[in-house]
Amino acid sequence: MGVDVLVFNPPYVVTPNEEIDVTEEASAWAGGSCGRQVLDVLLPQVPELLSPNGRFYLITIEENKPNEIIEFLELRGLRGTRVMERQAGREHLSVLRFTRSE
């Protein structure tokens, strides 16, 4: 068993760690250093959460170091690719997709 589709749009904005969970609104965007404080809690669990054919989609900005995220999950048996990129104001957004390596 497991999750067939997991989509995560984490709080990814780079902020001081003290801003996380200060207010309900800040919890929606404050990501701590590298904007990954919340994300880094989930990443090690993703391979165990996905079903054999499961997919994980993740929204990131460049400051979150998406290539590093792809490498991290590839070492844990998932294949990662950027399936979409776009500029939104000052943010360079990417959608990453992960599947099990064959």
Q: Beta strands 91-100 and 3-8: pairing type? A: unpaired
Calculated CA dihedral for residues 78, 82, 88, 92, nearest 10 degrees: 80
How far apart CA 70 and CA 79 sit, in angstroms, is: 8
Sorted by sequence, the CB contacts under 8 Å of residue 22 that are 6+ apart come out as 30
Name the band, by pLDDT with cuts 50, 70 and 90, for residue 28. Answer: low
Instruction: Tell me the per-residue pLDDT of 3-17, one tens digit each, with 9 for 90 and over.
Output: 999 999 876 666 666
- Name the burial class of residue 76, with classes exposed (0-12), middle (13-18) and buried (19+) by CB atoms within 10 angstroms of its CB: middle
Q: What is the model's pLDDT at position 101?
A: 76
Q: What is the model's pLDDT at position 1?
A: 81
Q: Give pTM, 2 decimals.
A: 0.86
pLDDT at 43 over 70: yes
